[in-house]
Structure 1
Amino acid sequence: MSNGNNSVGECSSSTSLSSQQDIEDDRMIAVLLSEEYAKLDGPVAKQLSNLAPVPHIPRINSFIPNLSDASLDHHRLLERLNFYGLCEVKVSGDGNCQFRALSEQMYKSPEYHKHVRKDIVKQLKDNRSLYESYVPMKYKRYYRKMRKSGEWGDHVTLQAAADKFAAKICLLTSFRDTCFIEIMPQHQAPKRELWLSFWSEVHYNSLYVIQDAPIRQKPKRKHWLF
């Protein structure tokens, strides 16, 4: 009986040690991940280090604000840019602005937007199960529509971009109650960080701290861009 009790005690002790080791391993992994994510933090992230990001919920575009609301939103975004010492590298407002802004961040030029769109649409097509629940229409119709140049990107295409490019995509927005949205890859650690400004439901631009902003030729403005 004594040997049996000792076996139980040894088993309990072993389980406890194993559990404690698991906790230590989890802590170590958390520290390592934190350090890896910190390496991604560029100048823009440091400027916004006091802001807590809002979790991202993928959704398609559902409405375009009226002129009055759009004007207020644009003013709010400009105030935030000024407050945090950030500026936009502006891209054309031709319906491809999300893809142009992503292209500018990744390739230092907005002109690769067709390539970026193609990669994102392939991600949507090849990984239907990841995105279909966010799309309130026939899924094939949705991604086929997204193939077309000039079709506005949405928050589903942003999630697909984060997954495809292994990127943490961060948005400084003009939303009244949501200043900073962070979009993380769903099944891998991010390898890069992309920063966009988002004039809510109207336009995306590429985002930099003022002193690091590249000088590029200004795109032609569309009549609805202020």
Structure 2
Amino acid sequence: MGPLETLEALQTRHRREHRDLQARITQKKKSASKKTRKGVNDECATLESELKERHSQELAALNGENGSIAKDEASIEQSPEAEAEDDPETITNGIAESLQNTSISSPPSESADSPASSEPRKKQNRAKARLARRAAEQDALAAQAAAEAASMPDLREQERINMRGHFSKYKLQEKEIRADGHCMYSAVADQMDQAGLGLNPRIQPTIADKQLDGVGEAEKKLPSYKLVRYAAADFIEQNPDDFAGFMEEPVDEYLRKIRETGEWGGHVELMALARQYGIQINVLQANGTVDEITPAEDSTATGDDKKVIWLGYYHHNFGLGEHYNSLRKAP
């Protein structure tokens, strides 16, 4: 092909070599420290000078003169863009901009021309990272709680062991009562039956009679715990001043829960039952304490004349929480 094509090829190669040199210079200046910066700058200037000289010589050899073509080539190399690239401050700013762009750019697989398209991906990744950190924190807390639980004493087993020791002391044996909200009333009914005392209270339950109106004789038999509930409610109803101070709600509502629901019974109901049936109720706890609930403050019955029943009170042994069992006399 003619000389023009050869000239175009030469100019193409010169531009490529010029770009390669600029890249090398940028890398050298980027890697330079304060101590080596002056030497690096001098070296870069020498490389640029040598490249320009060689390019001029090659153009002169091709054209046989240092005429307009060489001048054109020199103008290409010394264009404002090239001078800007050679300027140290421009190179430094370019490096900083390059580093900044690198730190915020999207992954290599995504297009740098579409930063908006990469934003949802980055947000999604941050959300996943937060979820992962939160899950890790929750796992750590769960592991810590499990370790603490493993190191804690088994309160349920300790309570059971302590109660068994007290059974021997008082010559008692335990009758398990179903944990259904009626346990205290069922335990009292079992104790009354075992002692042969029956469930006939001093004040006959009237609520039971009203609820049984119109019911056949075969259906009139109520569960024993229900009769004990009625006995407690009736005594509180007829002596409201003795119990109102222990209640956090109106007496009528309190009595309704005793008679019609599975509301747990406690000390108030035991006081009412002790006075209703004329008995002393001893409540044994795991720490060895025996709460003696007497039928009246002036009760003087002793020995065989004293009617006593026993209940076992648990804090930890049953799923519903507080619980009463019947404690019968051991044979």
Give the TM-score normalised by structure 2. Answer: 0.39
Q: Does 1:97 align with 2:183?
A: yes
**What's 1:75 paired with?**
161
Distance 1:125 1:80, change over 3 A: same
Rounded to whole Å, the distance in 2 between the matches of 1:155 and 1:187 is 16
**What's 1:122 paired with?**
234
Task: Note the C-alpha offset of 1:81.
Answer: 1.9
Number of aligned residue pairs: give it. Answer: 143
Q: Paired residue for 2:290, among 176, 180, 185?
A: 180
How do residues 46-61 of structure 1 correspond to structure 2 at under 5 angstroms? none
**What's 1:207 paired with?**
327
Rounded to whole Å, the distance in 1 between the matches of 2:255 and 2:296 is 19
Rounded to whole Å, the distance in 2 between the matches of 1:71 and 1:206 is 19
Structure 1 letter corresponding to 2:161: H
Q: Does 1:194 align with 2:194?
A: no
Structure 1 letter corresponding to 2:326: S
Stretches of structure 2 that go unaligned for 5 or more consecutive residues are 1-152, 200-222, 316-320
Rounded to whole Å, the distance in 2 between the matches of 1:132 and 1:72 is 36
Rounded to whole Å, the distance in 2 between the matches of 1:193 and 1:186 is 13
Post-superposition Cα deviations, 1:19-62, rounded to whole Å, max 9, x if no partner, equal xxxxxxxxxxxxxxxxxxxxxxxxxxxxxxxxxxxxxxxxxxxx
**Other structure's SS at 1:147 match:** helix
After superposition, the CA RMSD in angstroms is: 2.6
Rounded to whole Å, the distance in 1 between the matches of 2:188 and 2:239 is 20
Structure 2 letter corresponding to 1:104: D
Task: Note the C-alpha offset of 1:188.
Answer: 6.0
Rounded to whole Å, the distance in 2 between the matches of 1:133 and 1:209 is 35
Indicate conservation of the 8 Å contact 1:196/1:204, yes or no: yes
Structure 2 letter corresponding to 1:165: Y
**What's 2:252 paired with?**
140
Rounded to whole Å, the distance in 2 between the matches of 1:73 and 1:204 is 13
Which stretch shows the higher mean deviation, 152-161 or 139-148? Answer: 139-148
Q: Among the aligned pairs, what percent are the same residue?
A: 27
Structure 1 letter corresponding to 2:193: Y
**Other structure's SS at 2:243 match:** helix
Indicate conservation of the 8 Å contact 1:169/1:184, yes or no: yes
**Other structure's SS at 2:296 match:** coil
Task: Note the C-alpha offset of 1:88.
Answer: 0.8
Counting helix residues as a fraction of each chain, which structure ranks higher? 2
Task: Note the C-alpha offset of 1:187.
Answer: 5.8
Rounded to whole Å, the distance in 1 between the matches of 2:238 and 2:282 is 24
| Larger RCO (CA within 8 A; separation ≥ 6) | 1
Rounded to whole Å, the distance in 1 between the matches of 2:275 and 2:309 is 13
Distance 1:68 1:148, change over 3 A: farther
Q: Which has the larger radius of gyration?
A: 2
